Structure 1
Amino acid sequence: MTDALTGEPLRAEPAAGSGGPAAVPRETLRGALELYLELHAHPELSGAESRTAARFAAHLEGAGATVTRDVGGHGVVGVLRNGPGPTLMLRAELDALPIGERTGLAYASTVPGTMHACGHDLHLASVAGAFTLLADSRDTWSGTLLVVGQPAEETLEGAGALLADGLYERFGTPDVVLAQHTAPLPAGTLAHGVGGPMMAASAALDVVIHGYGGHAGTPQLTVDPVVTAAATVMRLQTVVSRETAPSDQVVLTVGSLRAGRLGNVVPDDAELSITVRAASDPALARALAAAERIVRAECAASNCPRDPDVTYLSRSPALLTDPAATATVRAAHEREFGHRRVVDWPGSMAAEDFPRFAVDGVRAAYWMVGTVSPGQWRAARAAGRPVPPNHSAEFAPDVRTALPAGIAAMATATRQLFKETG
C-alpha cells in the first residue's frame, strides 16, 4: 500500500525481526490515511474547527459510533457501548496553529498562514484508526468506549469547555482517559513518563502598558510605553534567573511585543503576550506572581498614567499520569512494539489542557509517539541543525511510520485497560 500523494510505501507491517507492532489492516490504515491527508491540507484554528469536526465525526459514525456534535464548541463525542465493563475515553485535538507551512509536502496546507504544526491531524487519524480496529474486534473487549475530538487545545480552553458543556454528565464519567502526542523521536517509537510530569503547568497572559503618546522630537512630553515595555521584557528574565530555585523548572517567554506604527510617533500603548511554564503548579503560581509584580513595578517606575491591564487568557495544570495505568499501558506497548521501541520520556516544558479531564478519580494515561524518519535525522545532521520540532513551520511527521504506530499504540493500550480496569 502506498501514500496516494507521495507514492511512498506505508509501513502497515513491520520488517521481519524489527520488533514493530502487529500489522494494521489495510482498509483501516487506508481510511486513517485519507483522513490525515485531508485534515493536514485543510487545517483550522482554535474555535473554528467546523470542517475538521465534521470529517472526524463522519469517520466515527462510519465505524459504528453514536456521535454527538458541537459539544463545548466544535467538540465531537463518539460513543460505542459493548457490554458491561469500564468506560474509557480516547482524546484527540481538532485545532491547528497560525503558522505558514514550509514543508514542501505534496499534501501541505492549502490555508495560508495555518498548518498542523503540532501533529493534531496525526492524533485524530490515529484515534480514528484505533476506533475502527476496536469496533471491528468487539469480542476482544467489553465496556464503553468514548472518543472525543477536542476543540481549542492550542489555546488551553477546549477541555474546560467540553467539561462545562456536561461531557461527563451527558456521556458518562470515564475510569481512564487516554491520549498520545507527537514528539521529535524516531518514528515508530513510543515514550512513557517515568514519575515526573509529562508536560508542564502553563499560563498565558496579555499585558497592556499605558503610556502617553506624542511626537518623537519631544519625548519629554510623553510617557513612552515602548521603553517601559522593553524594560519589562528584560526584567522579566530575572523571574527565572534570580527568583526561581535552580532545582525548579520554569520557563518564561514574551512571545509578542506590539507597539506603534511609525518611527516618529510615540504610541499611547504597548502590548505584551507572555507564557509561563513550570514543572509544578506551585512553581507556576510563584512565577506568575513575580511576573505581574514586575509588570506593575516597571509601569510605576515609568510614571505611566494608568495601571497596566493584565489579562489571564488560559491556565492548565501539569500533566501527571496515573502510575498504575501507565504501567499497564507501557507493558502492553512493550509486548506489541518490543522493548527497544518503548523508551523513557524525561518530561517537557510543553503544555496542554488534557490534565483537566483527570478530575474526581478519573485516571490519565498519556504517551509520546515518535515522528522523525531516518532521512529527516540525516538531513538535519547534515545541515547542522535540530530536527524541526513541534510548532515549527517545517514540522513534517513521517506519516508512513508514525500513523500505523499511533493506531496500534492507542488500540493496544485501550484493549489492555479494558481488561485490567474494573
Structure 2
Amino acid sequence: MTGQDLSEDSFAERARTVLAPLGAGYLDEIEQLYLDLHRHPELSGQEERTAGIAADRLHAAGYEVTTGIGGHGVAGLLRNGEGPVVLLRADMDALPVREATGLAYASTREAVDGDGATVPVAHACGHDVHLGSLIAAATLLARARHCWSGTVLAVAQPAEETGDGAAAMLDDGLYAKVAKPDVALAQHVVPLPAGVVGHRPGPMMAASAVVRVRVHGRGGHSSAPQATVDPVVIAAHIVTRLQTIVARETDPADCAVVSVGYLHAGTKANIIPETAELGISVRCYDNALQARLLASIERIAAAEAAASGAPRPPEVTVTEGVPVNDNSAEHTGTVRAAHLAHFGEGRVVPMPLLAASEDFPYFGAAGAGPHYDGDAVPTVYWVVGGASLDAWLAAPGDTPQEKVKSLPVNHSPQFAPDPRPTLHTASEALVTAALAYLTGTTSQGL
C-alpha cells in the first residue's frame, strides 16, 4: 500500500473542505471538550469516564463503536466505500502527578492507585490533547464523507503510561473484532512551538524496560556478619557490575542506558536483612539489543548472588517494557508529504531520536504474531508542538534544543500545552495524514 500523489490540487482541496468546520466554530467545541478532559484525568486502567466520552462522541459522529477492548479501550469504525483501513490512535490515561500549572482549569483530582494509595492525578503528558484531536479528526472526516473513500478506525487506547494498553487491546482481539488496518497513525504533543509538526523515519523512540531484581540472603545480627549472607553487599556488587553492560558489553556505536533507580533493603542499622531489591531502567533503540541488555542483567544478578553464596538465585522480573517505536520510512514519507502540502515548509521539522518510550509499536510490527493473519501493519508516529508562542520566544537559547531545556516537559507538574493552537494543529495533522491514504472517488492504486 502506498499513499496518493499529494502534489495534486485535489488533495489540498479535500483537506480544506474536511477541515473547514474548525475555522467555523467547531474548534470552540473541541477546546471545551479538552478543558473537560483536562479537569477530569483518570489513571491508567481507570479511564471509565474518559472512555465513555470517547465512545459517545464517536457514536454521535456515525461510527460503529466497540467498547471494553483490553480494559477501557474504545474503537470506532466508519466504513465509507472502497479503500484502505486507516487507524488513528490516541491514548487517554493520565499520571499520578499533582498539577502545578496554576491554570483555571487545572486538575485537582485524586484517585486510588493499584497499590491502594491515594494519589493526585493530572494530564501531565498531554493525552487530553491526543484524545480531543482524535475526536475532532474523526468527526470532521465523518462530516465530509463525500471527500474520501475507505475506512477510518478511531482508537482511544487506555494504559499507555503503564505500557500495556496497546498490547491488551490487541490481545483482546481489536483487529479480529473490529478491523485490521492497512496503516496505523498516531501523534504526541511535545514542548515545541504550537503549530509545528515533527517527523523522523525509522527508530524514533526508545525501547524501554523496567526490571525488578530481588536478591535473597540470610539475615542476622550486624555484629555477627559471618553467620549471614548479606543481600545488601550482593546488591551493591550487582549495581557496580551492571555499569559494565554499557561500558564493556555494548558496541560504542549503539546507544543504551542501564540505570538503577532504587535499592531497597533493611529496616535498621544493626539488622542484616533477608532480602534486597533493585529497580533498573533499560533503554535503547534496537529490540535485539534490548534483549541482550536484559539477558546481561539476569546473568550478572545470578552470578553475583552465586559468588556470595546466596541461599537461592535472585528473582529477575521485567515489570514493564515496550519495543522501539520504529516508523515505516516509506509511510513516514507519505505523512510528511501530506503535512508539507498542508502546513508548508516552515511548520514541518525533522526530529532527533527521543529517549522516551511508547506502546504504540504494538499496533504495528512489534505486535506481530497472534494479532495478525498476514503482514504486519506499518506505523507512523509524529509529534506536534504545544508550547505557547510567548513561552517559546521567552525561553533562553538560540536552538530548539536549548529552548526546550527551560520549558516544562512531558510528565512535569507544570506541563501545559497552549490549548487552542495545539488542538488546531493536532486535528489538522490527523486529518491530513488520514487523507493521504483515504482516496477520493477512485482507489488510485492504494
Q: Given the two structures, how large is their TM-score scaled by the length of structure 1?
A: 0.88
> What is the match of residue 420 of structure 2?
400
The correspondence for 1:123, drawn from 121, 130, 137, is 130
1:366-405 alignment runs, 5 A limit: 366-377=381-392, 380-381=395-396, 386-405=406-425
SS of residue matched to 1:411: helix
Shift of 1:131: 0.9
For 1:60-209, list aligned pairs within 5 A: 60-112=58-110, 113-193=120-200, 195-209=201-215
Native 8 Å contact 2:202 2:329 kept in 1: no
1:406 Cα deviation after fit: 0.5
Residue 414 of structure 1 corresponds to: 434
2:299 pairs with 1:309: no
Q: 1:366 and 1:322 mapped to 2: Cα distance?
A: 9
Gaps of 5+ in 1: 1-20
Q: Does 1:365 align with 2:344?
A: no
Instruction: Work out the number of aligned pairs and report it.
Output: 401
| Distance of 1:392 and 1:233 partners within structure 2 | 28
- Separation in structure 2 between the aligned mates of residue 203 and residue 187 of structure 1, nearest angstrom: 31
SS at match of 1:395: coil
Mapping for residues 253-292 of structure 1, pairs under 5 Å: 253-292=259-298
Contact 2:160/2:166 (CA < 8 Å) preserved in 1? yes
Cα distance change, pair 378–341 in 1 and its aligned pair in 2 (3 A): closer
Q: Distance in 2 between matches of 1:361 and 1:67?
A: 24
The CA distance in 2 between the partners of 1:341 and 1:183, in whole Å, is 14
Structure 1 Cα separation of the partners of residues 267 and 105 of structure 2: 37
> Partners of 2:94 and 2:364 in 1: how far apart?
24
Q: Secondary structure of 1:417's partner?
A: coil
Q: What is the aligned partner in structure 2 of residue 11 from structure 1? A: none
Deviations 1:277-305 (A, max 9, x none): 21111211221111222222222233322
Q: 1:163 to 1:262 in 2, by over 3 A?
A: same
Q: C-alpha distance in 2, partners of 1:238/1:218?
A: 32
Alpha-carbon offset, residue 343 of structure 1: 0.6
Q: Which moved more, 1:242-251 or 1:23-32?
A: 23-32
Provide the C-alpha distance between the structure 2 equivalents of 1:394 and 1:257, rounded to a whole number of angstroms.
29
Q: 1:139 to 1:23 in 2, by over 3 A?
A: closer
- Report the CA distance between 1:147 and its aligned residue: 0.6
Counterpart residue identity of residue 270, structure 1: A
What displacement does 1:43 show? 1.8
CA separation of 1:397/1:223 partners in 2, compared to 1, >3 Å: closer, same or farther? farther
Deviation at 1:319, TM superposition (A): 1.8
1 CA distance for matches of 2:191 and 2:332?
Answer: 21
* 180-189 or 310-319, larger mean C-alpha shift: 310-319
Give the structure 1 partner of residue 231 of structure 2: 225
How much identity, in percent, do the aligned residues show?
52
TM-aligned CA deviation for residue 369 of structure 1: 0.9
Matches within 5 A, 1:25-40: 25-40=23-38
* CA shift digits 1:167-223 (9 cap, x unpaired): 111111111111001222222101111x43011222222221122333445444443
Distance in structure 2 (CA, Å) of the matches to 1:154 and 1:125: 18
1:87-124 CA-to-partner distances (Å, cap 9, x unmatched) read: 11111112222223222222222224322222211111
SS of equivalent residue, structure 2 residue 44: coil
Distance change >3 Å, CA 298–CA 97, structure 1 → 2: farther
**CA 1:346/1:169 → structure 2, altered by over 3 Å: closer, same or farther?**
same
1:19-30 equivalence runs, <5 A = 24-30=22-28
**1:398 aligned partner, one-letter code:** D
Decide whether the 8 Å contact of 2:212 with 2:278 is kept in 1. Answer: yes
Kindly provide the amino acid, as one letter, of the partner of residue 156 in structure 1.
G
Mean CA deviation greater in 408-417 or 310-319: 310-319
Q: SS at the partner of 1:306?
A: coil
Q: Distance in 2 between matches of 1:84 and 1:296?
A: 57
Residue 318 of structure 2 aligns with an amino acid whose one-letter code is Y
Does the CA contact (< 8 Å) of 1:22 and 1:336 recur in 2?
A: no
Following the alignment from structure 1 to structure 2, what is the Cα–Cα distance between the partners of residues 265 and 399? Answer: 54
1:75/1:151 contact within 8 Å kept: yes
Q: Would the alpha carbon gap of residues 288 and 374 (structure 1) be closer, same or farther in structure 2, given more than 3 Å must change?
A: same
- Are residues 334 and 385 of structure 1, via their aligned partners in 2, closer, same or farther at CA, if it must alter by over 3 Å? closer
Cα distance in 2 for residues equivalent to 1:304 and 1:280 = 34
Supply the distance in 2 between the matched residues of 1:85 and 1:402 (Cα, whole angstroms). Answer: 30
Cα separation, 1, equivalents of 2:254 and 2:163: 23
Distance 1:288 1:84 in 2: 45
Q: Is the 8 A contact 2:90 2:127 kept in 1?
A: yes
Post-superposition offset of 1:33: 1.8
SS at match of 1:197: strand
